[in-house]
């Protein structure tokens, strides 16, 4: 695995030209920082040990790794194999149907469940579990970007062109990074701003209760269905930013809380991380 910091730099360098895939680097780092601040001590110890195995210091250091794979020649095969795992295409409604929306687990919902199971399996090697942590941190962020559970026909609004800040863009990229960039804050300051709002209230669980990531995807999908998310005239106005940015920020806060809860659940005991092999 390449050094984490090199991957992050690649992600920043290619952001302007690469197709939009996820929250931008800023959003993913915010989710990771929010989660890290909410971890219980037992899970934090496990996370720290796994991070140390990759010479990373924080969840934010690994939060964007999954988006750099496609641009790293040494990881191109893994990037291609995991490309469908960054999103879920809901077919016809926002009610998640695994056989239709996530065939063979090839979507962000299936990916979160798959890699969380690897992360929590202490019989596996540290390398396998550390990689799973990378994916879990990233994919929990992804499923909370509403357009990652959007329309198949426009590739989650990658094909929906807009004018933003006087330049051509697409709606997916606006939600990835454009809305957040209007704050003109770096990740630590943005995280602090969101933390000042206090604990986020999680929506009530929806039956069936055996697949929380599916519910997260359904909730993201329903945001996409709100009137006005696709802007009239294809123009991102100041009014649009003021209306939609709070929704994006709430999604970041939900992602941070849910990521912390997931890590507490799969890592939250006092056993040591398994011996490397």
- Note the pLDDT of residue 254: 98
Query: Is 5 part of the annotated catalytic residue set?
Result: no
Query: Is 216 part of the annotated catalytic residue set?
Result: no
Looking at CATH, the fold of the domain delimited by 4-267 is given as P1 Nuclease (1.10.575)
Q: Which of 33, 142, 261, 264 is an active site residue?
A: 142
Q: Which of 148, 173, 253, 258 is an active site residue?
A: 148
Query: Is 23 part of the annotated catalytic residue set?
Result: yes
DSSP 84-125: GGG-----SSSS--HHHHSGGG-SHHHHHHHHHHHHH-TTS-
Sequence-distant (6+) residues with CB within 8 A of 90 are 96, 101, 149, 150, 152, 217, 218, 221
- Note the pLDDT of residue 22: 58
Tokens 């329903």 belong to 222
Query: Is 67 part of the annotated catalytic residue set?
Result: yes
The residues that bridge with 169 in the sheet, in sequence order, are 162
Per-domain residue ranges for the chain? 4-267
Query: Is 28 part of the annotated catalytic residue set?
Result: yes
Query: Is 148 part of the annotated catalytic residue set?
Result: yes
Query: Is 176 part of the annotated catalytic residue set?
Result: yes
Query: Is 55 part of the annotated catalytic residue set?
Result: no
Query: Is 172 part of the annotated catalytic residue set?
Result: yes
Q: Which of 176, 216, 258, 264 is an active site residue?
A: 176
Query: How far is the C-alpha of 170 from the C-alpha of 56, rounded, in Å?
Result: 33
- Note the pLDDT of residue 14: 33
Q: Which of 33, 61, 65, 86 is an active site residue?
A: 86
Query: Is 70 part of the annotated catalytic residue set?
Result: yes
Q: Which of 33, 61, 67, 101 is an active site residue?
A: 67
Query: How far is the C-alpha of 242 from the C-alpha of 134, rounded, in Å?
Result: 32
Q: What is the pLDDT along the chain (277 residues), one digit of tens a residue?
A: 443 433 433 333 333 333 444 589 999 999 999 999 999 999 999 999 999 999 999 999 999 999 999 889 999 999 999 999 999 998 878 999 999 999 999 999 999 999 999 999 999 999 999 999 999 999 999 999 999 998 888 889 999 999 999 999 999 999 999 999 999 999 999 999 999 999 999 998 877 778 999 999 999 999 999 999 999 899 999 999 999 999 999 999 999 999 999 999 999 874 444 433 3
- Note the pLDDT of residue 70: 87
């Amino acid at each position: 695995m390449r050094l984490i910091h090199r991957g992050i730099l690649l992600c920043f360098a290619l952001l302007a030209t690469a197709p939009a895939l996820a929250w931008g680097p800023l959003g993913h780092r915010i989710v990771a920082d929010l989660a890290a601040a909410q971890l219980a001590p037992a899970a934090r110890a496990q996370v720290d040990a796994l991070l140390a195995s990759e010479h990373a210091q924080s969840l934010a250091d690994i939060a964007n790794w999954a988006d750099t794979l496609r641009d790293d020649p040494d990881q191109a095969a893994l990037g291609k194999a995991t490309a469908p795992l960054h999103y879920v295409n809901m077919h016809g409604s926002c009610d998640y149907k695994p056989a239709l929306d996530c065939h063979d687990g090839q979507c962000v919902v299936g990916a979160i469940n798959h890699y969380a199971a690897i992360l929590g399996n202490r019989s596996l090697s540290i390398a396998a579990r550390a990689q799973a942590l990378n994916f879990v941190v990233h994919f929990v962020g992804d499923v909370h970007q509403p357009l990652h559970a959007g329309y198949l026909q426009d590739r989650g609004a990658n094909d929906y062109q807009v004018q933003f800040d006087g330049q051509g863009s697409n709606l997916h990229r606006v939600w990835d990074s454009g809305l957040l960039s209007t704050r003109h804050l770096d990740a630590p300051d943005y995280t602090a701003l969101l933390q000042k709002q206090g604990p986020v209230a999680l929506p009530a669980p929806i039956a069936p209760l055996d697949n929380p990531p599916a519910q997260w995807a359904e909730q993201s999908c329903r945001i996409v269905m709100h009137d006005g998310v696709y802007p009239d005239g294809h123009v991102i106005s100041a009014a649009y930013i003021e209306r939609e940015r709070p929704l994006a920020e709430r999604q970041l806060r939900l992602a941070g809380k849910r990521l912390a809860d997931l890590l507490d659940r799969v890592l939250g005991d006092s056993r040591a991380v398994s011996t490397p092999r």
